[in-house]
């Protein structure tokens, strides 16, 4: 595997001046991002398929081991505060359990039986989407989880850093950023990890776009949890609904801090009408706004 190969260019990197070593590491990071460029269409297709599957009830489940698992979890946990993605619709399967996020779980990545058992316990179905991440593309735990999830009917996405490996080839959608050798051989938290994080950022954000949780570049499904976010939400309602800040604030209160509901309320809908409009139009704010304007 290219991610495990020793690169002769860096065989003496431990003897280099620190500044030169850091420059070489930065070049590697830039190359890792460039490697993602070939995957944009594949990421878009995977995001569209995922949004279609998830609908109003499906779960988004992240699977991984070691560094790849930690990167996967980092992406998923951001969806709740950023897009108010329901926590009950998020799942995390980490080799060795979630304790392995902070402590190494030796041998857990080889436990394919544990992965299959955890997938079975999750009771996945056709509305669910499972994302497996493994730099090597062949980590037994992650590969087994993806295979079991696919067999259960879930949509599967495999993210790896080596072409022609079982994880991306066994998933419905395989995403591969071939990042090649690492400056420190096998240290896939470097180039491979950077590419994985970038692909996950693009994938999950595109899914949220297609789920209607972004409108005109704004996080209209954002969870308001502090004064700063309250002011941001109030400004969104003001700008989108075309009302003053005071009316936007009243609408936000009537909507119990739900920005999309608040926009419709600020435009003249009752809270019940606003909820029904969003339900009818699958949470797509522009469609709900258009229906409200036609009704008015």
pLDDT tens digits along 187-242: 888 999 999 999 999 999 999 999 989 999 999 999 898 999 999 999 999 999 99
Q: Which of 4, 78, 169, 178 is catalytic?
A: 78
Rounded CA-CA distance 121/226 in Å is 36
Burial level of 269, CB count in 10 A (0-12/13-18/19+)?
Answer: buried
Residues in Cβ contact with 72 at an 8 Å cutoff, skipping those fewer than 6 apart: 62, 63, 64, 92, 131, 133, 196, 200
To which residue do tokens 């998020």 refer?
A: 90
- Which has the minimum average pLDDT: 10-14, 247-251, 267-271? 10-14
Per-residue pLDDT, averaged over 152-172, amounts to 97
The whole-number average pLDDT for the span 132-145 is 97
pTM: 0.91
pLDDT tens by residue, 37-92: 999 999 999 999 999 999 989 999 999 999 999 999 999 999 999 999 999 999 99
Hey, which bits of 87-202 come out as E strands?
90-94, 129-134, 155-160, 173-176
1 has a pLDDT exceeding 70: no
Average pLDDT, the chain: 94
Query: In this predicted structure, what is the pLDDT of residue 283?
Result: 87
Instruction: With beta carbons less than 8 A apart as the criterion, state whether 132 and 142 touch.
Output: yes
pLDDT grade, residue 8 (50/70/90)? confident
When pLDDT is averaged across residues 19-37 and rounded to a whole number, the result is: 96
Over pLDDT 90: what percentage of the chain?
86
Q: Is 52 a catalytic residue?
A: no
pLDDT band per the 50, 70, 90 thresholds, residue 96: very high
Instruction: Give yes or no for residue 97 having a pLDDT over 80.
Output: yes
E-assigned strands of 120-172? 129-134, 155-160
pLDDT confidence band for 106 (50 / 70 / 90)? confident
What integer pLDDT is reported at residue 278 of this predicted model? 93
Length of the chain: 296
Map out the domains of the chain with their CATH numbers. Answer: 2-210 (3.40.50.10490), 227-295 (1.10.8.1080)
175/162 Cα distance (integer angstroms): 10
Measure CA 66 to chain center: 18
* C-beta atoms surrounding 171 within 10 Å: 24
- Asked if 27 is an active-site residue, the reply is no
pLDDT digits (tens, 9 = 90+) for 119-128: 999 999 999 9
Q: Which pLDDT value is given to residue 103?
A: 84
Token digits for 250? 């009243």
- Per DSSP, the three-state class of 36 is helix
pLDDT reported for residue 131 = 98
């Amino acid at each position: 595997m290219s991610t495990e190969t020793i690169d002769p260019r860096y065989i003496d990197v431990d003897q280099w001046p620190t500044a030169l070593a850091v420059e070489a590491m930065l070049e590697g990071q830039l190359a890792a991002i460039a490697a993602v460029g070939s995957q944009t269409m594949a990421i878009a297709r995977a995001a569209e398929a995922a949004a279609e599957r998830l609908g109003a009830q499906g779960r988004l489940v992240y699977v991984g081991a070691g560094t790849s698992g930690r990167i996967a979890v980092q992406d998923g946990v951001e969806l709740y505060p950023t897009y108010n993605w329901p926590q009950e619709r998020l799942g995390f399967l980490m080799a060795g359990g979630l304790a392995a996020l902070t402590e190494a779980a030796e041998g857990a990545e080889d436990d394919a039986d544990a992965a299959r058992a955890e997938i079975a316990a999750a009771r996945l179905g056709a509305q669910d989407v499972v994302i497996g991440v493994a730099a090597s593309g062949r980590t037994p735990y992650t590969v087994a989880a993806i295979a079991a999830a696919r067999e259960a009917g879930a949509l599967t996405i495999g993210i790896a850093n080596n072409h022609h490996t079982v994880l991306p080839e066994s998933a419905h959608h395989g995403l591969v950023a071939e990042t090649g050798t690492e400056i420190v051989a096998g240290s896939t938290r470097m180039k491979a990890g950077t590419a994985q994080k970038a692909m996950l950022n693009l994938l999950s954000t595109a899914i949220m776009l297609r789920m209607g949780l972004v409108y005109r570049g704004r996080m209209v499904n954002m969870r308001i949890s502090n004064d700063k976010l309250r002011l941001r939400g109030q400004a969104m309602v003001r700008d989108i609904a075309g009302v003053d800040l005071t009316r936007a604030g009243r609408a936000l209160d009537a909507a119990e801090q739900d920005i999309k509901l608040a926009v419709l309320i600020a435009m003249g809908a009752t809270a019940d009408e606003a909820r029904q409009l969003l339900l009818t139009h699958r949470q797509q704010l522009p469609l709900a706004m258009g229906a409200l304007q036609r009704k008015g």
